[in-house]
Amino acid sequence: MNKVISMTGRASAWQARVNGVRDRRYTIRYPFAADAELIDMESGKQLTGVTSDISLGGCFVCTSKSLPSNARARMRLTRKGESLDLLVVVRIVKPRVGLGIEFFDLEPPNDRILTNWIDALQRSR
């Protein structure tokens, strides 16, 4: 191994963790489309969008509007007449593209709905 390529300007894994950015996801994400409605718990700002993927730990919501990183929000996902209500944290903000969302405080029956959606996605692979 005498050829080493250095990539200057990239943050190391240690730097990424120090800055609060995860270097990997904890669960597999599956392509998934559901209508999303978010309400920022601090400002009351509301926005809508559509998910592009989902996992047991979060999803990505495609929306032209934005919330700040680390904003806490209430979110409702609706798909085929079924709704899922969650408390979430905005982890990634891609202006005019969408938001990376982490789920937290998932209570029954919402946990069963999410699990059923993920199970159906796993079976359809």
Residue 10 falls within a domain, yes or no? no
**Total domain count for the chain?**
1
Residue 106 falls within a domain, yes or no? yes
Residue 4 falls within a domain, yes or no? no
Phi and psi for 95 in degrees, rounded to 5? -50, 135
pTM above 0.75, yes or no: yes
What pLDDT tens digit does each residue of the chain (125 aa) get?
444 444 444 444 434 444 444 445 578 999 999 999 999 999 999 999 999 999 999 999 999 999 999 999 999 999 999 999 999 999 999 999 999 999 988 889 999 999 999 999 999 88
Residue 45 falls within a domain, yes or no? yes
**Enclosing domain of residue 36:** 29-123
> For position 108, which CATH number holds?
2.40.10.220
d(CA 73, CA 67): 9
Q: Find residue 61's DSSP bridge partners.
A: 51, 99
